[in-house]
Copies of this chain bind each other. A is one copy, B any other.
């Protein structure tokens, strides 16, 4: 039995079938890059035949030079037609992807009910589609939809589908538990029955979590001989989700001794899972295995005193193995080493023995307790650390802002902001309109700063996220704003927290500009600002 298992990620395709999950082409590209760094072997990007967003993804991803294979998803040709004339199959070929995931029916009930065709025509549809994709040089992963249900009702037909796919040249035969209703011992028995039959194709497994068994079923298939697992990050997917790769990868590698990704990559697991949940704007359950913030959190007093003696007493692995950390819920004991290693990473020379270092660590912990999250806001963290290290000059003295939104029936909504600052003893008072309140505030702030810091003309905000921190009392609770900014070379993220979304946005906006101007000097020569730059910031 081979000990190398191939990880096939379908977060960008099957994952987006989950309720509330919607990813733009930009989101998909960001996630693909992150998945590649984690070391997954296949990244299914979408359905090139379905919409322009996916077509854009397949086009732009070609410049990324990823190690992972990008795959395009599609169905077998339509009944009673020819593969060469199938628009869907053609778009898979035109997508530029090196591999194709072709889904076909293997449950006779579905052939009759959903396809409304004969069992023979379904076999021909599978054969023709695979053969056509292979002729065009693609690696073909054949996803046999409802394979387990099909096998239970008509094993002969389910197996004949797989034989036909193999005959047509499929590189992989993937058994799908599409409805998620199969039990682990059934998966084991059915996979075992197929292992003896496939000769040229390799076997894979694709499960859903409707019985809370998707991870177990994937492992069960691998132990029976499957060599590829299809799943999604954080288990996103239709209904109860797909098999969760964030649990499968460490289970295979750390518990069962399979070769999956390298030990340095698996340390990125927690970070990758959280990054993707941020991009998808889906709240990650605190108790998510391996990567959740409570996955290694200890509450009971007896547990805590035991883990302080030896953490193996109540931890099944060392949390650092997957990039997570131990937390003690009653007394916040963790954190300092993380902050110090983060400072080192940023090239900030801080000494843990100094009074100022101890103070900033205490301050960061206090801010985290208030709801700040520095994992997604490195730039704000860097500002705090540099300030503690005496490296930072303040850009301006804040005096006030006002923000007004006004809507009258039948007329467009109007947003205006007014900002009062003091720079080097000069009082500056600006007013600006915007497409929305944060844009108005951003415009008024830039207007106040640009004559002193012309560099900010090249900066724009590339992402803006709001999260309510305490759901009990929604509009009166705290919010966290994360802002991502960009110039020609760099991207950086900042955070603000307040009971008021406008104040939180202001904090994150100010941090964004302070970070952009790290190491910059003021320029008082207003006349030389290029006019193009003025346009950009709505002067």
Contacts and interface: CB of A to CB of B under 8 A. Distances in A.
Interface stretch (A17-25, A134-142, A158-166, A266-274): A17-25
A464 to B, nearest CB: 4
Nearest to A14: B300
A322 B45 CA distance: 35
A340 interface: no
Interface string A310-352: 1011111100000000000101110000000000000000000
A376 interface: yes
B215 A405 contact: no
A27 to B, nearest CB: 8
Nearest to A306: B114
Contact of A402 (B22, B406, B498): B406
B289 A209 contact: yes
Contacts of A473: 460-461
A476 B435 CA distance: 5
A438 B476 CA distance: 8
A19 B413 contact: no
Contacts of A240: 287-289, 292, 294-295
B475 A434 contact: yes
Contact of A405 (B223, B251, B500): B500
Given A181-B317, A295-B240, A408-B400, A468 B463 contact: yes
Copies of this chain, complex-wide, total 2
Interface size class, chain A? 35 or more
A479 interface: yes
A378 to B, nearest CB: 11
Contacts of A211: 215, 247, 250-251, 255, 289-290, 316
A212 interface: yes
A interface secondary structure, majority: mixed
A439 B475 contact: yes
Nearest to A178: B314
Nearest to A27: B471
A500 B415 contact: yes
Interface stretch (A119-127, A356-364, A501-509): A501-509
Interface stretch (A79-87, A278-286, A518-526): A278-286
A317 to B, nearest CB: 7
A393 interface: no
Contacts of A181: 255, 316-317
A464 B477 CA distance: 10
Contacts of A460: 473-474
A29 to B, nearest CB: 11
Contact of A404 (B315, B375, B402): B402
A179 interface: yes
B215 A375 contact: no
Nearest to A499: B435
Contacts of A475: 434-436, 438-439, 442, 461, 464
Nearest to A421: B409
A79 to B, nearest CB: 14
A461 B500 CA distance: 16
Contacts of A302: 75, 114
A296 B239 contact: yes
Contact of A468 (B309, B333, B465, B472): B465
Contacts of A435: 475-477, 499-500
Interface string A209-239: 1111101100110010000000000010111
A405 B402 contact: yes
Interface in A237-259: 237-241, 244, 247, 250-251, 255-256
A294 B19 contact: yes
Interface in A354-408: 373, 375-376, 397-408
* Cβ-closest 4 pairs across A and B: A181-B316, A216-B216, A461-B474, A439-B475
26 contacts: A20-B286, A22-B331, A24-B470, A24-B471, A50-B333, A113-B313, A114-B302, A184-B216, A210-B289, A211-B250, A211-B251, A211-B255, A211-B290, A211-B316, A213-B251, A240-B288, A401-B407, A402-B406, A402-B407, A413-B499, A436-B498, A437-B501, A437-B502, A460-B473, A461-B473, A474-B484
Given A281-B465, A281-B467, 18 more contacts: A181-B255, A181-B316, A181-B317, A211-B247, A211-B250, A211-B289, A212-B289, A240-B289, A400-B407, A400-B409, A407-B506, A435-B476, A436-B500, A437-B437, A437-B500, A460-B473, A461-B475, A465-B466
